[in-house]
Amino acid sequence: MQNFRAIAVVRGSQRWYFFSVAPPDGAQANNVFFEKEHSMIKPVILSGGKGSRLWPLSREQYPKQYLGVGGKTTLFQQTAERIRDLENTLPPLIICSNDHRFIVAEQLQVIHMQGDIVLEPAGRDTAPAVTISAMLSAPDDMLLVMPADHVIQDNAAFHEAVRQAEKLAAKNLLVTFGVAPTTPETGYGYIRKGDAVEEGFRVASFVEKPDRKTAESYLEQGNYYWNSGMFLFRAGTFLEELAKHAPDMLEACRKTVEQRYEDLDFIRLDEQLFKASPANSVDYAVMEKTDRGAMVPLQTSWSDLGSWSSLYDAGEKDGQGNVLLGDVLTEDTQDCYLHAEKRLLAAVGLRNMIVIETPDAILVADKDKAQQVKAVSTRLKSMGRSEAEVHSKVYRPWGSFESIDIENRFQVKRLTVKPGQVLSLQMHHHRSEHWIVVSGTAKVTNGDKEFLLTEDQSTYIPLGNVHRLENPGKIPLEIIEIQTGGYLGEDDIVRLEDVYGRDSKV
């Protein structure tokens, strides 16, 4: 009897089985055949959004996908965990801003997941990001493209929709996921379904965000779906269609991928080469032009949490129809979204309102005007106001700092350094610093001296002194930092050494 030996060989996204026949007499083995297993799913998480419609909670340096606005974990973590139990799946590829790279890495670590993190040097909308992802994948990889800021209530229903979409993608169709509308939503684009194909439909057309009357007609007709912005397609199929409809983008992204390089745990892209790509969405660049478009209905509650009104719709309400988060007291108040971060928020006689309290900004808005909050963030940015970009509490790879008080020529901060972490070796041209240990143990470099400080101990760092702060302990290190000088901006840092590979001021 002949002996058979099967060896699994992975080639790109496909797994092949090599069968070898070994004769009893030890003669040369005969190679019989290869057998191909189905393509692998490669999740692509698009995490470059700014979330400006959820200002002041969401800001450019810490946008909504990294906040716990949709549950105990963040929206980004929920997206990553959504594919944890999906069969036949490769580790995810995450596309994010350089400013958010350490946030992404830490939030993946918290949920015990790994993935490749690609840093976008500039925002160019979704199509270049997906193109880069396709070029970093094997042609037969099934790219499951998911924005990082969506809420999907039923993961099992999502997995079922993915399996249905796989069948269509295997036929070289570009599949999008449609959500049956439950309200005449004006903040979403729509998909008009065409003829049935397999367990989905051909895409008849994509429709822009409608006005209220048009949205109501879509709801009545029953053949329109919300455009979720999620996709499934073979990497090679997407690139083929991109070559037809957006060749300039294809060429710019090809050059960008060729010049990519690794920096610690991140994949960096050349800024000039990437900016040479036209800025466009997947819908505009490919899906609205291709004849390979298909749609699979997503049979579960879905929201992109794109506004405060959508957060209200998704929230748990009290007997008066209010969503209350934080230290909130209400009197004769109905159908409101009230969120307090630091202080007591008391509301009297309010109807259909949104009130968001944060340490440095308060938003008060009519719930029906929630889509206009983005205009506030835009105006703040044009005015050079820091409230558009950063919170009073700013996160760093070593921990965080929070501005407690600031006046002319002095600032008080609270620094939290995580166990085992260390700040950069640095100096300042315009300020001196006084560090007071509140809790934990600090290892301090101050000029040519290195020493330990414990609770209630302090040190003074003169202007121009090279210094560093480290937490050698097992608990968080809490420091009160008092800065004095003529200029107290974060860009007054000369970084000499940094374990996180930073060459900027973040």
φ and ψ at residue 64, rounded to 5 degrees: -60, -30
Give the contacts of 431 (CB within 8 A, at least 6 positions apart).
463, 483, 484, 485, 486, 487, 488, 492
**Per-residue DSSP letter, 284:** I
Q: Which residues, in sequence order, are bridge partners of residue 456?
A: none
pLDDT tens string, the chain, 506 residues long: the values are 334 343 344 444 344 433 333 444 444 444 433 334 468 999 999 998 888 899 999 998 899 999 887 567 999 999 999 999 898 999 999 999 998 999 999 999 999 999 999 999 999 999 999 999 999 999 999 999 999 999 998 999 999 999 999 999 999 999 999 999 988 988 899 999 999 998 899 999 999 999 999 999 999 999 999 999 999 999 999 999 999 999 999 999 999 999 999 988 899 999 999 999 999 999 999 999 999 999 999 999 898 888 899 889 888 999 999 999 999 999 999 999 999 999 999 999 999 999 999 999 999 999 999 889 999 999 999 999 989 988 888 889 999 999 999 899 999 999 999 999 999 999 999 999 999 999 999 999 999 999 999 999 999 999 999 999 999 999 999 999 999 999 998 889 999 999 998 865 44
What integer pLDDT is reported at residue 489 of this predicted model? 87
CA quadruple 444, 445, 451, 456: dihedral positive or negative?
Answer: negative
Altogether, the residues listed in the chain come to a count of: 506
Report the candidate in 465, 430, 437, 466 with the shortest Cα–Cα distance to residue 452: 437
Report the candidate in 285, 12, 13 with the shortest Cα–Cα distance to residue 131: 285
Q: Which two tokens stand for residue 15?
A: 């797994």
Tell me the three state secondary structure of residue 27: coil
Domains by residue range for the chain, with CATH: 3-36 (no CATH), 41-303 (3.90.550.10), 315-381 (no CATH), 394-497 (2.60.120.10)
pTM for the model stands at 0.84
Report the candidate in 489, 446, 444, 481 with the shortest Cα–Cα distance to residue 464: 446
Q: Which two tokens stand for residue 428?
A: 């300042």
Give the contacts of 113 (CB within 8 A, at least 6 positions apart).
80, 81, 84, 91, 92
**Per-residue DSSP letter, 276:** T
Strand order from edge to edge, sheet including 393-396: 393-396, 399-407, 410-417, 477-485, 431-439, 458-461
> CA distances (Å), 22 to each of 16, 32, 33, 126, 376, in order?
19, 11, 14, 52, 73
Run of H or E including 363 = strand 362-366
Give the contacts of 6 (CB within 8 A, at least 6 positions apart).
17, 18, 19, 20
Tell me the three state secondary structure of residue 503: coil
Report the candidate in 147, 133, 143, 126 with the shortest Cα–Cα distance to residue 278: 126
Burial of 184 by CB count in 10 Å (0-12 exposed, 13-18 middle, 19+ buried)? Answer: middle
Burial of 497 by CB count in 10 Å (0-12 exposed, 13-18 middle, 19+ buried)? Answer: exposed
Residue 107 has a CB neighbour count (10 Å cut-off) of: 20
Q: Which residues, in sequence order, are bridge partners of residue 20?
A: 5, 31
Q: Which two tokens stand for residue 211?
A: 């006005």
Give the distance, in angstroms, between the CA of residue 4 and the centroid of all CA atoms in the same chain: 48
Largest CA distance in the chain: 93
CA quadruple 446, 451, 452, 455: dihedral positive or negative?
Answer: negative
